[in-house]
Amino acid sequence: MLDDFLIRAALAGVGVALATGPLGAFVVWRRMAYFGDATAHAAILGVALALATDLPIVAGTLVVALAMAISVAGLAARGWALDTTLGVMAHSALAFGLVAVSFLPGVRTDLSAWLFGDILAVSKGDLALIWGGAALVLGLLAWRWQALLTATLNEDLAHSTGIRPERERLVLVIALAVVVAVALKVVGALLISAMLIIPAAAARGLARSPEGMAAGAIGIGALAALAGLALSLWQDTPAGPSIVVAAAAAFAVSALMGRVRGA
Protein backbone atom coordinates (compact mmCIF):
# COMPACT_ATOMS: atom_id res chain seq x y z
CA MET A 1 0.00 0.00 0.00
CA LEU A 2 1.42 3.36 -1.01
CA ASP A 3 1.90 6.00 1.66
CA ASP A 4 -0.38 9.03 1.54
CA PHE A 5 2.50 11.40 0.80
CA LEU A 6 3.43 9.38 -2.31
CA ILE A 7 -0.14 9.46 -3.57
CA ARG A 8 -0.27 13.22 -3.02
CA ALA A 9 3.08 13.61 -4.79
CA ALA A 10 1.88 11.55 -7.78
CA LEU A 11 -1.35 13.56 -8.03
CA ALA A 12 0.64 16.80 -7.80
CA GLY A 13 2.97 15.70 -10.61
CA VAL A 14 0.05 14.76 -12.86
CA GLY A 15 -1.69 18.06 -12.05
CA VAL A 16 1.38 20.04 -13.04
CA ALA A 17 1.66 18.01 -16.26
CA LEU A 18 -1.94 18.93 -17.14
CA ALA A 19 -1.00 22.60 -17.02
CA THR A 20 2.52 22.49 -18.48
CA GLY A 21 1.66 20.16 -21.39
CA PRO A 22 -0.50 22.38 -23.64
CA LEU A 23 1.17 25.58 -22.45
CA GLY A 24 4.57 24.05 -23.18
CA ALA A 25 3.43 23.36 -26.73
CA PHE A 26 2.93 27.10 -27.26
CA VAL A 27 6.25 27.83 -25.57
CA VAL A 28 7.95 25.52 -28.10
CA TRP A 29 6.01 26.82 -31.10
CA ARG A 30 6.68 30.45 -30.22
CA ARG A 31 10.29 29.83 -29.14
CA MET A 32 9.55 31.28 -25.71
CA ALA A 33 11.86 29.00 -23.73
CA TYR A 34 13.87 31.86 -22.25
CA PHE A 35 10.64 33.74 -21.56
CA GLY A 36 9.47 30.87 -19.35
CA ASP A 37 12.85 30.71 -17.68
CA ALA A 38 12.75 34.40 -16.76
CA THR A 39 9.24 34.07 -15.31
CA ALA A 40 10.23 31.02 -13.26
CA HIS A 41 13.36 32.67 -11.89
CA ALA A 42 11.31 35.68 -10.82
CA ALA A 43 9.27 33.36 -8.61
CA ILE A 44 12.06 33.35 -6.01
CA LEU A 45 11.64 37.12 -5.67
CA GLY A 46 7.96 36.35 -5.13
CA VAL A 47 8.85 33.97 -2.32
CA ALA A 48 10.84 36.76 -0.66
CA LEU A 49 7.91 39.16 -1.09
CA ALA A 50 5.51 36.66 0.46
CA LEU A 51 7.78 35.99 3.43
CA ALA A 52 8.29 39.72 4.03
CA THR A 53 4.56 40.56 3.94
CA ASP A 54 3.10 37.37 5.44
CA LEU A 55 1.28 36.65 2.19
CA PRO A 56 0.70 33.08 1.02
CA ILE A 57 3.70 31.92 -1.00
CA VAL A 58 1.53 31.27 -4.06
CA ALA A 59 0.13 34.81 -3.97
CA GLY A 60 3.62 36.34 -3.81
CA THR A 61 4.99 34.20 -6.62
CA LEU A 62 1.92 34.79 -8.79
CA VAL A 63 2.19 38.58 -8.42
CA VAL A 64 5.91 38.69 -9.24
CA ALA A 65 5.72 36.08 -12.02
CA LEU A 66 2.84 37.96 -13.62
CA ALA A 67 4.71 41.27 -13.34
CA MET A 68 7.80 39.73 -14.93
CA ALA A 69 5.83 38.05 -17.72
CA ILE A 70 3.89 41.23 -18.56
CA SER A 71 7.10 43.29 -18.53
CA VAL A 72 8.82 40.87 -20.90
CA ALA A 73 5.79 40.72 -23.18
CA GLY A 74 5.70 44.52 -23.28
CA LEU A 75 9.37 44.72 -24.21
CA ALA A 76 8.83 42.13 -26.95
CA ALA A 77 5.93 44.13 -28.36
CA ARG A 78 8.18 47.20 -28.56
CA GLY A 79 10.78 45.36 -30.59
CA TRP A 80 13.47 44.92 -27.96
CA ALA A 81 16.19 42.37 -28.62
CA LEU A 82 15.10 39.90 -25.97
CA ASP A 83 18.02 37.48 -25.66
CA THR A 84 20.19 39.82 -23.60
CA THR A 85 17.26 41.54 -21.87
CA LEU A 86 15.76 38.25 -20.73
CA GLY A 87 19.12 37.03 -19.51
CA VAL A 88 19.59 40.16 -17.41
CA MET A 89 16.05 40.12 -16.02
CA ALA A 90 15.96 36.39 -15.26
CA HIS A 91 19.21 36.18 -13.35
CA SER A 92 18.76 39.55 -11.67
CA ALA A 93 15.32 38.56 -10.35
CA LEU A 94 16.71 35.27 -9.04
CA ALA A 95 19.69 36.99 -7.37
CA PHE A 96 17.52 39.76 -5.86
CA GLY A 97 15.18 37.12 -4.46
CA LEU A 98 17.98 35.12 -2.86
CA VAL A 99 19.58 38.24 -1.37
CA ALA A 100 16.24 39.68 -0.19
CA VAL A 101 15.45 36.55 1.81
CA SER A 102 18.76 36.82 3.66
CA PHE A 103 17.79 40.32 4.87
CA LEU A 104 14.42 39.32 6.29
CA PRO A 105 14.61 39.40 10.11
CA GLY A 106 13.63 36.20 11.84
CA VAL A 107 13.26 34.25 8.61
CA ARG A 108 15.20 31.04 8.37
CA THR A 109 14.15 29.02 5.37
CA ASP A 110 15.84 26.51 3.11
CA LEU A 111 15.43 27.95 -0.38
CA SER A 112 16.54 24.70 -2.03
CA ALA A 113 12.93 23.51 -1.78
CA TRP A 114 11.83 26.52 -3.85
CA LEU A 115 14.74 26.21 -6.27
CA PHE A 116 14.47 22.47 -6.95
CA GLY A 117 11.01 21.59 -5.64
CA ASP A 118 9.76 19.49 -2.75
CA ILE A 119 7.00 17.38 -4.26
CA LEU A 120 7.12 14.86 -1.42
CA ALA A 121 5.98 17.58 1.01
CA VAL A 122 2.84 18.48 -0.96
CA SER A 123 -0.23 18.79 1.27
CA LYS A 124 -3.92 18.36 0.45
CA GLY A 125 -4.24 22.14 0.28
CA ASP A 126 -1.34 22.26 -2.20
CA LEU A 127 -3.07 19.59 -4.27
CA ALA A 128 -6.26 21.62 -4.45
CA LEU A 129 -4.24 24.65 -5.52
CA ILE A 130 -2.29 22.72 -8.18
CA TRP A 131 -5.37 21.11 -9.71
CA GLY A 132 -7.33 24.35 -9.50
CA GLY A 133 -4.50 26.18 -11.28
CA ALA A 134 -4.28 23.43 -13.89
CA ALA A 135 -8.04 23.67 -14.50
CA LEU A 136 -7.74 27.45 -14.90
CA VAL A 137 -4.89 27.13 -17.40
CA LEU A 138 -6.65 24.39 -19.39
CA GLY A 139 -9.87 26.39 -19.47
CA LEU A 140 -8.04 29.53 -20.59
CA LEU A 141 -6.19 27.73 -23.37
CA ALA A 142 -9.31 25.83 -24.50
CA TRP A 143 -11.25 29.09 -24.66
CA ARG A 144 -8.64 30.81 -26.83
CA TRP A 145 -7.22 27.74 -28.59
CA GLN A 146 -8.02 28.60 -32.20
CA ALA A 147 -7.11 32.26 -31.79
CA LEU A 148 -3.84 31.32 -30.09
CA LEU A 149 -2.99 28.90 -32.89
CA THR A 150 -3.73 31.49 -35.56
CA ALA A 151 -1.69 34.19 -33.82
CA THR A 152 1.16 31.72 -33.35
CA LEU A 153 1.08 30.63 -36.99
CA ASN A 154 0.93 34.07 -38.59
CA GLU A 155 0.27 37.42 -36.92
CA ASP A 156 -0.74 39.05 -40.20
CA LEU A 157 -3.30 36.30 -40.78
CA ALA A 158 -4.54 36.83 -37.23
CA HIS A 159 -5.02 40.56 -37.84
CA SER A 160 -6.91 39.86 -41.07
CA THR A 161 -9.36 37.59 -39.23
CA GLY A 162 -9.99 40.08 -36.43
CA ILE A 163 -7.69 38.45 -33.88
CA ARG A 164 -5.40 40.66 -31.81
CA PRO A 165 -2.03 38.92 -31.35
CA GLU A 166 -1.26 41.16 -28.36
CA ARG A 167 -4.32 39.85 -26.53
CA GLU A 168 -3.39 36.25 -27.28
CA ARG A 169 0.14 36.92 -26.04
CA LEU A 170 -1.37 38.26 -22.82
CA VAL A 171 -3.41 35.05 -22.42
CA LEU A 172 -0.20 33.03 -22.63
CA VAL A 173 1.51 35.40 -20.18
CA ILE A 174 -1.26 34.93 -17.60
CA ALA A 175 -1.28 31.16 -18.09
CA LEU A 176 2.50 31.04 -17.70
CA ALA A 177 2.39 33.02 -14.44
CA VAL A 178 -0.27 30.69 -13.03
CA VAL A 179 1.77 27.62 -13.98
CA VAL A 180 4.88 29.04 -12.31
CA ALA A 181 2.93 29.78 -9.13
CA VAL A 182 1.36 26.32 -8.82
CA ALA A 183 4.38 24.31 -10.01
CA LEU A 184 6.97 26.03 -7.80
CA LYS A 185 6.58 23.59 -4.91
CA VAL A 186 6.62 20.53 -7.17
CA VAL A 187 9.69 21.04 -9.37
CA GLY A 188 11.10 24.37 -8.18
CA ALA A 189 11.99 27.60 -9.96
CA LEU A 190 15.05 26.20 -11.72
CA LEU A 191 13.19 23.23 -13.21
CA ILE A 192 9.80 24.68 -14.16
CA SER A 193 10.97 25.69 -17.62
CA ALA A 194 12.27 22.14 -18.16
CA MET A 195 8.80 20.72 -17.51
CA LEU A 196 7.34 23.27 -19.91
CA ILE A 197 9.78 22.53 -22.72
CA ILE A 198 10.92 18.90 -22.55
CA PRO A 199 7.55 17.05 -22.64
CA ALA A 200 6.29 19.33 -25.42
CA ALA A 201 9.51 18.87 -27.40
CA ALA A 202 9.26 15.09 -26.94
CA ALA A 203 5.64 15.08 -28.13
CA ARG A 204 6.44 17.24 -31.15
CA GLY A 205 8.19 14.45 -33.02
CA LEU A 206 5.33 12.01 -32.45
CA ALA A 207 2.23 14.18 -32.99
CA ARG A 208 0.40 14.83 -36.24
CA SER A 209 -1.65 17.82 -35.12
CA PRO A 210 -1.36 20.70 -32.62
CA GLU A 211 -4.00 19.08 -30.43
CA GLY A 212 -2.12 15.79 -30.58
CA MET A 213 1.09 17.50 -29.52
CA ALA A 214 -0.63 19.17 -26.55
CA ALA A 215 -2.21 15.89 -25.46
CA GLY A 216 1.07 14.05 -25.95
CA ALA A 217 2.91 16.63 -23.86
CA ILE A 218 0.42 16.08 -21.03
CA GLY A 219 0.89 12.30 -21.25
CA ILE A 220 4.69 12.49 -21.36
CA GLY A 221 4.77 15.01 -18.51
CA ALA A 222 2.52 12.81 -16.35
CA LEU A 223 4.59 9.70 -17.08
CA ALA A 224 7.77 11.64 -16.31
CA ALA A 225 6.34 12.73 -12.97
CA LEU A 226 5.43 9.16 -12.01
CA ALA A 227 8.71 7.71 -13.31
CA GLY A 228 10.72 10.42 -11.53
CA LEU A 229 8.96 9.68 -8.27
CA ALA A 230 9.65 5.97 -8.72
CA LEU A 231 13.33 6.72 -9.38
CA SER A 232 13.46 8.95 -6.31
CA LEU A 233 11.91 6.23 -4.16
CA TRP A 234 14.16 3.51 -5.59
CA GLN A 235 17.51 5.31 -5.60
CA ASP A 236 16.86 8.02 -2.98
CA THR A 237 17.47 10.80 -5.51
CA PRO A 238 15.96 14.33 -5.34
CA ALA A 239 12.37 14.08 -6.57
CA GLY A 240 12.17 17.28 -8.67
CA PRO A 241 15.38 16.70 -10.66
CA SER A 242 14.44 13.01 -11.03
CA ILE A 243 11.21 14.04 -12.75
CA VAL A 244 13.16 16.19 -15.21
CA VAL A 245 15.61 13.31 -15.82
CA ALA A 246 12.65 11.07 -16.68
CA ALA A 247 11.30 13.71 -19.06
CA ALA A 248 14.71 14.02 -20.71
CA ALA A 249 14.79 10.23 -21.18
CA ALA A 250 11.37 10.44 -22.84
CA PHE A 251 12.70 13.14 -25.16
CA ALA A 252 15.69 10.94 -26.08
CA VAL A 253 13.37 8.03 -26.88
CA SER A 254 11.13 10.33 -28.94
CA ALA A 255 14.10 11.68 -30.90
CA LEU A 256 15.35 8.15 -31.56
CA MET A 257 11.91 7.03 -32.74
CA GLY A 258 11.74 10.05 -35.02
CA ARG A 259 15.10 9.17 -36.61
CA VAL A 260 14.11 5.53 -37.07
CA ARG A 261 10.79 6.51 -38.60
CA GLY A 262 12.53 9.03 -40.87
CA ALA A 263 15.00 6.40 -42.00
Total tally of structural domains belonging to the chain: 1
Each residue of 81-120: pLDDT tens digit? 666 777 788 888 888 888 887 777 665 566 777 888 888 8
pLDDT at 187: 86
**Which pLDDT value is given to residue 120?**
86
Distance between start and end Cα atoms, the chain: 45
Residue 185: partners with Cβ closer than 8 Å, 6 or more residues away: 12, 57, 113, 114, 117, 118, 119, 121, 122, 126
Cβ–Cβ < 8 Å for 185, 122: yes
- State residue 121's pLDDT score: 86
**Across 134-161, average pLDDT:** 89
Q: What is the pTM of this model?
A: 0.88
Which residue in 45, 74, 5 sits closest to 180, CA to CA? Answer: 45
Is the pLDDT at 164 greater than 90? The verdict is: no
pLDDT of residue 74 exceeding 80, the answer is no
| Tally of residues, the chain | 263
Residue 125, domain extent: 4-262
Helix axes 4-29, 210-235, angle to 10 degrees: 140
pLDDT by residue (tens digit) across 195-235? Answer: 999 999 999 888 889 999 999 999 999 999 999 999 998 88
CATH of the domain at 211: 1.10.3470.10
